[in-house]
Amino acid sequence: MSISVPPRTTARGVLSLAPDFDVEAVRADFPILQRRIGDRPLVYLDSAATSQKPVQVLDAVERYYRQSNSNVHRGAHTLGNEATELFEGARRRVAAFLDADPRGLVFTRNATESLNLVASSYARELLRPGDRVVLTLMEHHSNLVPWQLAAERAGLDLAFIGLTAEGRLDMEVAARLLSEPTRLLGVTHQSNVLGTVNPIRELAELAHGCGALIAVDACQSVPHMPVSVRELDVDFLAFSGHKACGPMGGGVLWARPELLERMPPFLGGGSMIQRVELDRSTWAEVPAKFEAGTPDVAGAHGLAAACDYLDAVGRDRIHAHEQALTGHLLEVLDEAGVDIQGPRTLVERGGAVSFTMGEIHPHDIATILDREGVAIRAGHHCCQPLMRHLGTPATARASVYLYTTHAEIDALGAGLREVGRILGPPGTPR
Ligand SMILES: Cc1ncc(COP(=O)(O)O)c(C=O)c1O
C-alpha cells in the first residue's frame, strides 16, 4: 500500500508521514509491551538488536507444537506431512515477502550463518587467489569476519569503501573499487550503527558492471521497509527473522538458485544429500543442499506468521511511521545536546540512531535510562572498525519499530536529561 496522506509538519517541526497509523492497535498485539521495569512502563528502544513478537507469531509457534510437531521431509504419517507442508509453506511465504524465487530461499539460524554460508561456499570455494572482495567500513562483524576467514584461506584481497563525513558510503571510492579484479561486494542495506540506508540498486549495477556479485546484509532493512530482491537486483541477501517480529533462532539466506547450484554444500549431514556411499555423496537439489539436519520448523512457521503480520500492517506504512519517529528522535537527541553519529536528515536513513554524550560512557547512559524503564543499547554494536573510524570505543543507540510511540521518544528525552543531571558537566542541558 502506498502512503495516501501527504507529509505534514507537527508543532515540533517533525515530519509526520503516517498520521493515520494506529500504533495503539499495533501495540495491543505485543504482550511484552505491557511489562513494567520497576515502577515504570517499559520503553523498548532496542529493536535493532531484536524485535518484540506479536501474539500472532507466538500463537503460530504454539499451534505448531500443540498440533503438528513432527520431523520434516521423511514423514509417511499425517503429522510429518503437515510439518513438511508448514515448513515448505513458510519457505514460499518468506520468499514472497522478499519478492524472490523460493528455490533460492535457505533457512539458517541467523544472518550471521547466512553470511558465513556465502563466504564459505561461494567466496572460499569458487573465487581464486588474487580476486578481490569489496566491503564497507560500516559492516557488522557478521559481514566482515566471514570474509576475512574466506580471504585468508583462499588468498583473496579485501578492500573497503570508506564513509563521508555524514556517514554515507563514499560512492566515488565504490565506483573505483568496483572494477577488476573485484568479484564480490558485501554491503549492509542499512547500518545498525549509523542508520544510513545504502543505495543497493546503484551498487548492484556497479558490481554487475565489472562482473562481480553483490551480497546484501539486510538485517536492518527487511524488518522496516519493503525489500524486493528482484528490484534491487542482488545476488545474495541475508537477514535475521528475530529482528522482523519472528522467533529467535531463525535466519534467511536468499541466493540466485543458479549460484546455489554451483556452490558446494556448507554443512554436511542428513537432508542435504541425494545418495551416500562410504567414501562420497551426492547432493540434494537446492535449497535442501544447504539445509543439513533437522530444521527449526516452528521458527520458520513463526517467521512466515511474522511476514503475514508485517504485510497486514503494511510495510510502507510501517516505514512511514518509523520515518516520523526518527525525525522526532533526531530532534529530541538534538535538544538533549548529544552528538548524533550518522545522517541527520531523514532521506536514506532509518530508525537506528547512535549517539555519544560528551565524556559519559554509553553504558552509564544505558544504565540510568534503564532505571527510567527505557531500554537502549550501548557498546560497539559489533562494529569495532566503524567505532575506530568514529573515534569512540562505543556509542549509545536508540532504535524504533512499528510499535514505538512518540511518547516513548519523549521518555527517552526525559531520561537523557536525568543522565545529564546525574553525570553531565555543569552546563549540560537539563
Ligand atoms: C546489520 C547487521 N548485520 C548482521 C547482524 C547479525 O545478526 P544475527 O546476530 O541475528 O546473526 C546484525 C545484528 O545485530 C545487524 O544489525
Which has the closest alpha carbon to 116: 139, 142, 134? Answer: 142
429 within a domain of the structure (yes/no)? no
Instruction: Give the C-alpha separation, 160 to 52, whole Å.
Output: 34
- Mutation test residue for ligand 1: of 115, 136, 142, the one with most atoms within 8 Å of CB: 142
- Mutation test residue for ligand 1: of 137, 220, 401, the one with most atoms within 8 Å of CB: 220
Q: Are 31 and 113 found together in one domain?
A: no
CA torsion 35-316-341-43 (nearest 10°) is -10
Which of 311, 338, 370 marks a domain boundary?
311
Provide the residue type at 52 as one letter.
Q
The list of the chain residues with pLDDT below 50 reads 1-15, 430
Burial class (CB within 10 angstroms; exposed 0-12, middle 13-18, buried 19+) of 409: buried
Q: In the block, which residue shows the cell 550463518?
A: 113
Q: How many whole angstroms from 59 Cα to the centroid of ligand 1?
A: 25
Q: Are 326 and 292 found together in one domain?
A: no
Domain encompassing residue 12: 8-53+314-423
pLDDT at 17: 59
Q: Are 210 and 275 found together in one domain?
A: yes
Residue 168 exposure: Cα atoms within 13 Å on the Cβ side: 16
Instruction: Give the C-alpha separation, 402 to 223, whole Å.
Output: 9
385 within a domain of the structure (yes/no)? yes
Look up residue 42 and give its DSSP letter: -
Asked if residues 139 and 198 have their Cβ atoms less than 8 Å apart, the reply is no
Q: How many whole angstroms from 420 Cα to the centroid of ligand 1?
A: 31
Q: How many whole angstroms from 111 Cα to the centroid of ligand 1?
A: 6
**Domain count of the chain?**
2
243 within a domain of the structure (yes/no)? yes
Strands of 268-410 (E only): list them. Answer: 273-276, 281-283, 339-341, 352-356, 374-375, 377-379, 395-399
Cell of 367: 544504565
Q: Are 219 and 115 found together in one domain?
A: yes
pLDDT (tens digit per residue) in 224-257: 999 999 999 999 999 999 999 999 999 999 999 9
* Ligand 1 in reach of 118 Cβ (< 6 A): no
SS3 238: strand
Q: Are β-strands 352-356 and 395-399 bridged in parallel, bridged antiparallel, or unpaired?
A: antiparallel
Q: Are 32 and 67 found together in one domain?
A: no
Q: How many whole angstroms from 142 Cα to the centroid of ligand 1?
A: 6
Which of 311, 326, 359 marks a domain boundary?
311
pTM above 0.85, yes or no: yes
* Ligand 1 in reach of 112 Cβ (< 6 A): yes
Q: Are 73 and 220 found together in one domain?
A: yes
Instruction: Give the C-alpha separation, 410 to 383, whole Å.
Output: 28
Q: Whose CA is nearest to atom 7 of ligand 1?
A: 111
Asked if residues 287 and 105 have their Cβ atoms less than 8 Å apart, the reply is yes
Q: Which residues are catalytic?
A: 382
Instruction: Give the C-alpha separation, 97 to 330, whole Å.
Output: 30
Q: Are 104 and 93 found together in one domain?
A: yes
Q: Are 322 and 365 found together in one domain?
A: yes
Which has the closest alpha carbon to 218: 252, 245, 193, 248? Answer: 252
pLDDT (tens digit per residue) in 413-429: 999 999 999 998 755 55
Q: How many whole angstroms from 266 Cα to the centroid of ligand 1?
A: 20
Instruction: Give the C-alpha separation, 404 to 402, whole Å.
Output: 6
Q: Are 263 and 193 found together in one domain?
A: yes
Q: Are 197 and 86 found together in one domain?
A: yes
Domain CATH for 115: 3.40.640.10
428 within a domain of the structure (yes/no)? no
3 within a domain of the structure (yes/no)? no
- Mutation test residue for ligand 1: of 139, 227, 240, the one with most atoms within 8 Å of CB: 240
Instruction: Give the C-alpha separation, 127 to 183, whole Å.
Output: 8
235 within a domain of the structure (yes/no)? yes
Domain CATH for 390: 3.90.1150.10
Which of 311, 337, 358 marks a domain boundary?
311
